[in-house]
Structure 1
Amino acid sequence: MGGADGKINDLLKKLTRATVSKRIEWVAVPGTWGEPTKFTTSLVDKTLTVWSKDDDGLPPFHFAIYGPDGQQIEEIQAGDPFSYIQELYETVRRTVLDVDSTIDDLIAELNRRADDPFA
Structure 2
Amino acid sequence: MKEAYCAVALECTVKYLTGDTDTCGGKYLDAVDRIWRGRIQDLERSKASDLVFDQLRNRRLQVEAAATGDEDAVRCLSAINTRGYAIVSLRRYLREASGSMKPPVLEQACLKLGRYFT
TM-score (ref. length: structure 1): 0.31
Determine which structure has more spread, i.e. the larger CA radius of gyration.
Answer: 2
Considering Cα pairs closer than 8 Å and 6+ residues apart, tell me whether 1 or 2 has the greater RCO: 2
Higher strand share: 1
TM-score (ref. length: structure 2): 0.31
